[in-house]
Structure 1
């Protein structure tokens, strides 16, 4: 098994607009595009973390619609930060819709925020995110466990 320094709980939130485009952020820490996501803080529920992360990264308020899946496979959920730290994330991924606020890039966390057609995603997408999006597009009633 490849080196892992820590295991952390995380959330990811998939948001589609009316044109069925998906919201992505270009992360400041690694310069790659991805679904809004982040760590769960001590004392937070997964729902609270999802709402907070989206607000911090995009300035919009959301309503959680459903759980898409829980992702824990270390082969796909292993992330290396520029500092060299390697984290195995256990990620709860949600489908949500925007309920307020206005889309705005938080320059502390993101280089850019943009909606993309699901058939025309950027090439430099974080490796675990295409599976999350594929599962969201499957529109399955039950959550995936991967």
Structure 2
């Protein structure tokens, strides 16, 4: 999506537009040795999230998660497991370009556990702020409910989630 595209996330919204597409994506719940979670702030809506992005042709979901994390935060990771597969129709993303709805997407997200193995925290076009956050402090951050659901499940230590 273009940097001039506005993103509106809907959650359990009966007035949300109907999806026009589904796109696979990967997100990564990266925890450092102290148990802190790697978080970034999206410049398009100001919300905090874990590294997330769309799967490109020719790559695996693991490669997607590793690429997105490094592109968005500067941190190089190793995937260590599966948080879950999140496909709920409760989450719909509306992309508005030039004042018109360009796409309405229902995400198909595979969330992975990961640990840092290199790199340095850095801001990017996709992250206006990047930081390690103690799980007990996550409530202080504005996080979309769909992303908070992934994070909470990943921190719970339960078996992988599947919608």
Aligned to 2:38: 23
Distance, in Å, in 1 between the alignment partners of 2:73 and 2:51 is 8
Q: 1:68 aligns with which of 66, 83, 86?
A: 83
Post-superposition shift, 1:132?
Answer: 0.8
Look up the match of 1:100: 118
CA RMSD of aligned residues (A): 1.6
**Deviation of 1:135 (Å):** 1.1
Q: Distance in 1 between matches of 2:143 and 2:126?
A: 16
Q: Does 1:116 align with 2:116?
A: no
Distance in 2 between the 1:47 and 1:136 partners?
16
2:94 paired residue among 53, 61, 80:
80
Give the drift of 1:82.
4.8
Aligned mate of 1:128, from 138, 146, 149: 146
With the length of structure 2 as denominator, give the TM-score of the two structures.
0.81
Residue 43 of structure 1: aligned partner: 58
SS in 2 for 1:69: strand
Change beyond 3 A, Cα 1:62–1:24: same
- Give me the TM-score of the superposition, normalised by structure 1: 0.89
Separation in 2, partners of 1:19, 1:99: 14
State the structure with more CA Rg: 2
Structure 2: gaps spanning 5 or more residues: 1-13
**CA distance in 1: counterparts of 2:76 and 2:47, whole angstroms:** 23
Instruction: Check 1:123–1:55 CA distance in 2 against 1; reply closer, same or farther (3 A cut).
Output: closer
State the 1:29 CA deviation: 2.1
Separation (CA, whole Å) in 1 of partners of 2:43 and 2:21? 21
